[in-house]
Structure 1
């Protein structure tokens, strides 16, 4: 069975977005002169996945950027099978590529069906509201937190004050030369 991996960029103080959904704390570019950088990590991750699920807001942000990007990760990201979770969207274009199928209801069961299909792992990038709606389900298998060397002091957290206890088991830690840290956990 395929795994569902959630990857979130977060600040040291646990915020995944600013109070108005700003992402200023994320690196503007992943590329550095070093081999030990986030871009290389993301390129390696893309080799292990073949499906991406996004919430509506993240889909809108990704669709506006990635189909026309010349960043090294863009060809791999654009080649992924994509799904967007939204009750509001009627269509979901992706540049000049195939439109993205929309999951409108029964999200947990639809993701379980995807997990049962043959293929590589499945990634959910960002998509705070979507991930929060899945926290108490059994569809998420792994969390990857990329901790950014920044403090926001307020904004949107992935784990809210009313989140239930989630016991995680460390899989890997990786420190990048630019000060970011990857923490990977399984449930």
Structure 2
């Protein structure tokens, strides 16, 4: 069975976005110049997935950038099957490429259906509200946190205060050239 992987960039103090959803704590430029770069990690990661699921806001950011990007990661990212979770969107175009499918309701059930299909793993990128809505379900199999060397002190947390205890098992740690650290955990 495929795994559902939540991958989030976060600050040392646990924020995944600023107060106005800004992401300026994330690395602004990626480099494939070294083996130990975030972009090389992401290029390898994309080889192991074939589907991405995004919330509406992250979809809008991705769709505005990735279909026309010339970054090395763009061809692999644009080749993924795409799903957008939104109760308001009727369609989800992706530049000149095949549009994303829209999941309007029964999110847990629809994602579980995707999970049971043949294929590679599935990633949920960004999409804080979506990730938070799935934390207490059994849908998510793995969490990947890319911890950036920054402190925001305020903003949007990945984990809200009303969540139950979630114990995780460490799978891997990896330090990147820019000071970011990947922490991989399974449920």
Q: Normalization by structure 2: what TM-score?
A: 0.99
Distance 2:116 2:161 in 1: 33
For the residue of structure 1 that corresponds to 2:94, the secondary structure is coil
Report deviation, 1:91.
1.1
SS in 2 for 1:44: helix
What's the counterpart of residue 78 of structure 2?
A: 78
Listed as ranges, the matches of 1:1-187 within 5 Å are 1-31=1-31, 33-187=33-187
Which whole-Å CA distance do the structure 2 matches of 1:34 and 1:79 have between them? 24
Post-superposition shift, 1:34? 2.2
TM-score after normalising by structure 1: 0.99
Give the match's secondary structure for 2:93: coil
- Structure 1, unpaired ranges of 5+: none
Deviation at 1:2, TM superposition (A): 0.2
In structure 2, C-alpha distance between the alignment counterparts of 1:123 and 1:30, rounded to whole Å: 20
What is the total number of aligned residue pairs between the two structures? 187
Spell out structure 1 runs of 4+ moving beyond 3 A: none
Work out the CA distance in 1 between the residues paired with 2:125 and 2:40. 17
SS in 1 for 2:105: coil
Separation in 2, partners of 1:164, 1:127:
20
Q: Which has the higher strand share?
A: 2
* Shift of residue 33, structure 1, vs aligned partner: 3.5
